[in-house]
Amino acid sequence: MIDTIVLVINYPDFQIIDPEKFTPNAKFVLASFKQYQRSVQNYKQIEGEYRPNLTLYKHVRPMGIQRTLYIKFSIPKLMFGNNLDEVSEDDFIKVLHRLQDTLLEMGVKIELEQLSTSLVSKIDYGKNFVLTDYSFPFTYMDEIRRANISKVFDANQADYRNEGHSLSYRTNTFEIIFYDKMKDLAKANISPKKSVDNDKAPQRDFFHTVKLKQRKSPPFEVLRVEIRLNNRKRIRTVLKKINQDIEPTFGNLFSTKVAKLICLLTLNEIKEKIIFTKKDDKPFSDQLLSLARSNPELKPSFLLQYLGFQNIVNEHDLRTAREIVFPAGSSAWYSFKNKSESVVNQKKELLINKIISETERFRPIQVFDI
């Protein structure tokens, strides 16, 4: 479901009732004659307490003065103090009331209707996958890194962090991240700057609770996936892809159907571009024979090239393998890649199919129900 979101509310749909809580004082910002002014209330997270970050802008435009409030917060952290537990569509009214009450404590008054209909400028859809089959998040990420992500998302920047326990691809308007949630929580306890989710203050006690749960329950790990849509144009583009003709408002996007469709769209696009499967322990000759039987139309010389390239991918990753085998600017890569995508391999056995199946069910996770 939704994790972090940024709501945009224009005046007079909000009231600043305690301007001194902002820096600089919101009263002076709003009264200033400067063309552009900005005031913030970036709440310092107190142990066990979570608050949104607020940014107030004032612009002098040809049509008059525009005052806009941006509200950035993590919905599960606001509700539960962590983002391992997940909200559901049925929680929307509770979320609205909790947000309204919290904003009032921060010196901002907004009616429920204005919150519900506010436009969204950024949204992160997150899903936790609890692994109870003794598998590890790393094995899923190891498979995903074999996908030709640049073709799927026009994302040429891959980021491997924390000794391979997180994998992300990003553009200016989009980012998808896979990471080991338990290891990320552990990293944050040492240094929040080293974690994927660096806003960990309200989750520190929770981490120790979950570790205790791990010891008492059958072993489990958590693979977390976050799909970050970083501006409204990108949100509209994705909504169009999933055939949802709706305005990107808080109420419309707080939807199980929308969240599920966006997650499935992304995961299936990645699956289709996993060109090379994981390492096969069978003898090389047996692998070649199996491929030849499944792909009778392909020449043995190409299948040898395919298996050789796949071995390099297994040792490194797709990008490194491409740099080793195909020099920069080589058109041979595109011919090889296109032909490789037609190879009949064992995609039915891909690990990503497991999380796609779990996404189809899209049940909200509560850690104490594991």
For residue 63, give the DSSP letter: T
- pLDDT of the residue at 147: 78
CA distance 117 to 66: 19
* Terminal C-alpha separation, the chain: 18
Contact 206, 198 (CB under 8 A): no
Closest alpha carbon to 352 in 279, 247, 242, 278? 278
Radius of gyration of the chain (CA): 24
Closest alpha carbon to 41 in 56, 25, 24, 54? 54
Summarize pLDDT for 164-174 with one digit per residue, the tens.
688 888 888 99
Query: What global pTM score does this model have?
Result: 0.87
CA distance 182 to 82: 12
CA distance 59 to 65: 6
Summarize pLDDT for 26-71 with one digit per residue, the tens.
998 888 778 889 999 987 665 558 999 999 999 887 778 889 999 9
CB 348: neighbour CB atoms within 10 A?
6
Summarize pLDDT for 88-99 with one digit per residue, the tens.
999 999 999 999
Burial status of residue 176 (CB atoms within 10 A of its CB: 0-12, 13-18, 19 or more): buried
Quickly state the pLDDT bin for 22 (edges 50, 70, 90): very high
- pLDDT of the residue at 346: 55
Summarize pLDDT for 307-325 with one digit per residue, the tens.
999 888 888 778 788 888 8
CA distance 347 to 245: 33
Summarize pLDDT for 171-190 with one digit per residue, the tens.
889 999 999 998 888 777 66
